[in-house]
Amino acid sequence: MEIIEEYEGLKVGEIVRKNPKAAEVFTALGVDFCCGGNVAFTQVCDKKGLNAEKVWGDIQAKSLSGSTADLDFDNFDLDFLADYIVNVHHQYLYKNLPEVRFFVDKVFNKHGERFDYLPELYELYNALETDLVGHLPKEENILFPFVKQMVQDIKTNTAARSPFFGTVNNPIHIMHNEHDEAGTILHRLREITNNYTAPEEACNSHLVMLDKLKDLDRDLIQHIHLENNILFPKVINLEEKYLAQ
């Protein structure tokens, strides 16, 4: 009973926020800790037919393993975390989206009639790329600059300045919706590709396409987790402090 009390009431996003290595366990089990991070750990386990005590034990074992320690994102200053997201995850997308696009187009145009899932994969990737290309500038030009402004004004005891969007809850609400859309697309991509497993007859370009999509999926999951479960809740709290100074 004592071990159950450790995780009773915790949400999956909160668990990964405090213990980044839990992400490896959740990923292997198909547990969504980014867009679905606001769901209770025990509820997720019940829904998936998982033994919560065993999963928790696996998380603890992973934490005690000798693997390289993950960055402690939960203790990053918010302006630094925003810069980290842009410099690491946004730059990843700017670099890799054109490469993924090249292989998605190539494989679809050459083998679209041969493999049943390729037409849907093509449409899903189009939707995902369109969403991301529109999403990143909103963070870089609207929300993140105001986060950095709040941090700086609090440090210098400068009077609060209201943003044109009213409150951070407004852009954050939009970001959450767009993250949910991306998460839905990723979930469907995993389904139709059997977790990015190539068919036996797949050519090298097909193999590369699926490998790049898998890497994109992995990076986006971490990207969305950092924002949904760490940055956004803290930004909302920071605004309350900012307006009260």
Q: At 169, is the pLDDT very low, low, confident or very high (cuts 50, 70, 90)? A: very high
Pair 111, 180 in one domain: yes
Pair 81, 54 in one domain: no
Q: Which has the closest alpha carbon to 70: 241, 225, 238?
A: 225
Pair 41, 82 in one domain: no
Pair 25, 131 in one domain: no
Rounded Cα gap, residues 31 and 16, in angstroms: 11
Pair 100, 124 in one domain: yes
The radius of gyration of the chain's CA atoms, rounded to the nearest angstrom, is: 20
Structure tokens at 189: 């991509």
> Helices 204-225 and 91-111 meet at what angle, rounded to 10?
150
Pair 7, 117 in one domain: no
Pair 157, 114 in one domain: yes
pLDDT per residue over 179-228, tens digit each?
999 999 999 999 999 999 989 888 999 999 999 999 999 999 999 999 99
Structure tokens at 163: 């943003």
Q: At 132, is the pLDDT very low, low, confident or very high (cuts 50, 70, 90)? A: very high
Pair 56, 131 in one domain: no
Identify the pLDDT of residue 23.
79
Q: At 71, is the pLDDT very low, low, confident or very high (cuts 50, 70, 90)? A: confident
Structure tokens at 34: 């980014």
Structure tokens at 32: 């969504």
Domain boundary at 64, 89, 116, which? 64
Domain boundary at 17, 44, 64, which? 64
Give the domain extent around 55: 2-64
170 Cβ partners below 8 Å, 6+ apart?
Answer: none
Say if residue 101's pLDDT is above 60: yes
The residue to which tokens 């034990």 are assigned: 57
Count how many domains the chain has. 2
Pair 56, 122 in one domain: no
Identify the pLDDT of residue 68.
42
Domain boundary at 64, 87, 116, which? 64
Pair 121, 237 in one domain: yes
Identify the pLDDT of residue 16.
82
Q: Which has the closest alpha carbon to 40: 72, 2, 50?
A: 50
Structure tokens at 53: 């005590």
Identify the pLDDT of residue 141.
96
The residue to which tokens 């940055």 are assigned: 231
Pair 11, 107 in one domain: no
Say if residue 89's pLDDT is above 80: yes
Answer for the pair 160, 132: CB distance below 8 angstroms, yes or no. Answer: no
Rounded Cα gap, residues 90 and 131, in angstroms: 13
Pair 89, 13 in one domain: no
